[in-house]
Structure 1
Amino acid sequence: MARPLISRGVKPMKKKKIFVVAGARPNFMKIAPIVRAMDASPAFETVIVHTGQHYDHNMSGSFFAELGIRRPDHNLEVGSGTHAFQTASVMMKFEEICLTDRPDYVMVVGDVNSTIAAGLVAKKLGASLIHVEAGLRSGDRLMPEEINRLATDAITDIFFTTEKGATANLVSTGCDPGRVHFVGNVMIDNLFYQLGRLEASAVSGEVATLKQSIRGNYICLTMHRPSNVDNPEVLEAMLAALGDLAGEVPVIFPCHPRSRKNITRFGLDGYLSEPPINGGTVKEGLLCMPPLGYNDFLYLWKDAALVITDSGGLQEETTALEIPCITIRENTERPVTVEVGSNLIVGSDGERLKAESLKALSGRWKPCTVPELWDGHAGERITSVLEGACGI
């Protein structure tokens, strides 16, 4: 019997241990394409860490199955609280698992409190820090997220950017261009992945019934930022403008708890309508719903004539599908969505919101294209760069 061949003098490569950190449901949308790609690579041992910054009882096993990734290896269960409380709590709990399980790399995404907290711990313990969605800037230091972006990028070792403007932001502040990699947008990876698996049977009955009830155009709305919902005058002006639009077409409004609380607190419930329960045709109304899961909301907004939002991720996702998007903020950290994409910034100007919305509904929206490398393969590019850093 022949003896097996033995390769002499070549030791098997030791896998690099990477902690991939997510703090909330949207963060998992961003890490999912990366984890899928890295799990298929021989170079890495990937450890998923959920800080629990935003508790979400809907993050069940089926949620992770939908994303095509396993459940987190660690859940720090930090919960809500002030910015200082969250940041400090993540740091203390994350440090414990890092001291026990010594990662070679720590990967953080986006700009939440967990991003800077895990980054600080990584650097203090000597691990290399990777920032996905690095270099994005709104220029507004009153936004907590802007502070998190600036602080995280100041200590990052390997930068992955979603747009060339973000790369330019980093290089202009002295970052080594060799450490900055323009790879595209992992949120768009996840969007295409979910669209490929999305079926009517996968969404809730309430959402399916609502969509079947609408004949013709409709608008999808998200609104939760303090600048829009914490001031009663601003909130009423926004609801009045949205109410006028809702007299033209249905406006679907999955309402964030903060927004719902303030609408009631300021006595503005009269602007809202209830979605139909037993079918029928819906032609108008600002239809207030509880917050929706990713696939439920995707099922609605992917066919909308217009999306109105103060969120960051939706600006990117609508741009990728070339759906008109109006952002009710004074600025954006994703300028490429305005420069070449379908996004338009109107601030809290209700009259302009109505005028631009009517343009979208009548098919007179501005020309737009999809930004470079927003093609569904950013996670693979990130993995390829990291394999190169590991000598593969």
Structure 2
Amino acid sequence: MDPKQPEESDEVMDQFMEKFRTQKYKDAFNEENWEEEFEKIPMFMKKAPEDIDPEKAPELACLQAMLFDNDRSPEEQATSYKEEGNEYFKEKNYKKAITAYTEGLKKSCKDAELNAVLYTNRAAAQFYLGNFRSSLNDAIAARKQKPDHLKAIIRGALCYMEIKNYSEAVKWCDEGLQISPTEKKLLETRTKADKLHRAAERDARKLRQIEKKKQAEKESLLRAIKDRGIKLLEPSEKKEDDDEEEETSGALHNGISASENVTGAQVFLDENGLLHWPVLFLYPEHSQTDFISAFHEDSRFIDHLNEMFSQDLPPWDTDSKYLAPNLEIFFEDEKSQSFYQVNPDSTLLQVLQHGRFSVKAGTPSFLILVKQSPFCKKYFSDKKLHRTH
């Protein structure tokens, strides 16, 4: 609420008195309506209206002007706003309470105790609205005005509890208990904060241990891949004079984990130090795919094909062409835009060690086509193809 100037208050009061002289009160008080009628009188109102229009309610505007008269000292005005805020707070109208306390603080009075109360009361209102950061800032501001303000210390400790900064909550509780060693709220809060702080530290230690173990496993995995001469490539931003994918340590890290986001599986080392890869088989003739979540590096391609295309043929193979002996396997070298045929008797490791093979996004992928089929001939008609002999 903005305080009115004295001359405006006089004018409003004159209007009110003129209205009082010229208009008769229509309904007299009686036992049934006296409380309702009293509520219409500004001095006896238990709750102020939402908005005060000087034209419609000059008596209320007059009363407001008397309460927040600029001729009064900043301390008196700030006190009036504090009391107004307290009334709103009792009604659980925390937003209006915050507004009132803020107006009181704007008076910049020299009374540190009063300012500390205004900050602390506003902190309480912010707290009940769930604005814990704002509440904490006000508690800190209150302590700058009065370092030993106990209510501000309690409020700050509760805020730290809400934002899960348990170490600071313990610290504030200790500072408050130096002032009031028997303060029940501080004792309870400190006990809870200390317990949660210890639990948080314990969880953090466990998490660090888990992360350390994961990092060690990843480093071992990278060494195993590098020792085998397998190239892992991850798309990187193109440089001005280099439009090829760049192989880096970071790309290696990204390369072995990227597949987890797409398929839910990624390459891993077993207890014998052997690699198992997620592998994707593509069937371009039918726009179909097969995913092998753990292809052992020493397994042969023909063994997988025999298992996949022996008895139960896929429903999309309506011509029953996809039988292991009829199939050819290829991989693409994106750098040279060429395709290389894979010997079905080769192991996965042998193919991964091919000089033109690169594992992209952590998942080796291969094309499966029916040999000498019209689709196969057409598919490679405009592509560079390197066949095995």
* TM class, shorter-length: under 0.3
Instruction: Normalising by structure 2, report the TM-score.
Output: 0.20
Structure with bigger RCO (C-alpha 8 Å, 6+ apart): 1
Instruction: Normalising by structure 1, report the TM-score.
Output: 0.20
**Which has a greater percent of helix?**
2
